[in-house]
Structure 1
Amino acid sequence: MEKTFQFDTSVNQIALEANNAKDALKKISSLLYDFGYVKSTYPEAIITREKSFPTGLPFEKCGIALPHTDCCHVNKPMISISTLKTPVVFKNMGDASQDVSVKMIFMLAMKKSENQLQLLSELMENLQDNILMENLLQAHSSEELTKLMSGRITV
């Protein structure tokens, strides 16, 4: 089975500066666009979807967001990983009335909707690994983020 998702150092970021969740989403999605992974419609689509279907998740080590949108906005599958210099507030995926202070964002550019469930399942399993999360939060380069996550997603 062909592996669908990968990590590209050029779209991973350390200590991204963002004023709020929308600003973070714009910056990360624009980077995915600049490297050809997504279409010009992707940045607005990801922001719009986040309003209706929030993606913030509280974990032991830190809050994490898993923003994604429809496959029609994607050219090639990719997962962008960004740690934030200062946490920003996302709404909780399970209860939109709750805020989650997010320190790390995994932005998903999915080309095949049938992979979504398996991808999210594999990501959730990895995000519960406190040692991995600590290492990701302490990473000093986008290369280190890529190395830490490489081989962990088998979709």
Structure 2
Amino acid sequence: MEVYLHEELVFRDLDVKDADDALGYLAEQLFEKGYVKEKYIVAIKEREKEYPTGLPSTQPAVAIPHANYELVEKTTLAIATLKEPIEFHNMEENAATLPVQIIIMMAIGEPHGQVEMLQKIVGLIQDEPLRQEMVNARNNQELLKLVETAIN
């Protein structure tokens, strides 16, 4: 599965107050730029409540929110690094929270695409120096390049 990453969906040093705020902002960007249907914005927040997407790892931790493929117009990823880490619930232990500083929002328009994409993203997640580089990226192009290299 080919992933099309776009600089217009890369957000460095995003300043948000909580997970809900971050999810709303990224989903809104995806919608405004024509990648997802409007319902995606609500769906991604609802899904996060039921199935948290914070991945347990060393810092900086990653969250990988996504919603139903039927709400996606064009497959892509929205990528954000956060100015300050925010709490996301832990995917493996829902009651626990993790300080997340990287969000990779998946907008995958195929039923089986999410699993494939997750496998690509796992490599990135397991690479602590890479995550550190992402957080330290000086501009959106640099951040985009790091992610592209990791998943393609």
Asked if Structure 1 and Structure 2 have the same fold, meaning a TM-score greater than 0.5 normalized by the shorter chain, the answer is yes
Q: 1:9 offset after TM fit, Å?
A: 0.7
- Give the Cα separation in 1 of the matches to 2:147 and 2:86: 23
2:81 maps to what in 1?
A: 83
- Give the Cα separation in 2 of the matches to 1:141 and 1:34: 22
Larger mean CA deviation between 52-61 and 18-27 belongs to 52-61
- Give the Cα separation in 2 of the matches to 1:113 and 1:95: 26
Q: Which runs of 5+ in 1 are unaligned?
A: none
Larger mean CA deviation between 145-154 and 111-120 belongs to 145-154
Matched position secondary structure for 2:86: strand
Q: Which runs of 5+ in 2 are unaligned?
A: none
Alignment of 1:41-56 (within 5 A): 41-56=39-54
2:55 maps to what in 1?
A: 57
- Give the Cα separation in 2 of the matches to 1:151 and 1:118: 16
Q: 1:106 offset after TM fit, Å?
A: 0.3
- Give the Cα separation in 2 of the matches to 1:121 and 1:49: 20
- Give the Cα separation in 2 of the matches to 1:7 and 1:128: 20
Deviations 1:110-153 (A, max 9, x none): 10121221211111112111221111010121111111111432
Matched position secondary structure for 1:80: strand
TM-score (norm 2): 0.95
- Give the Cα separation in 2 of the matches to 1:58 and 1:29: 23
**Aligned residues: CA RMSD:** 1.1
Runs of 4+ in 1 over 6 A off after TM superposition: none
1:152 aligns with 2:120: no
Find 2:113's aligned residue among 90, 112, 115. 115
Question: Contact 2:123/2:150 (CA < 8 Å) preserved in 1?
Answer: no
Aligned residues: 152
Question: Contact 2:60/2:132 (CA < 8 Å) preserved in 1?
Answer: no
1:71 maps to what in 2?
A: 69
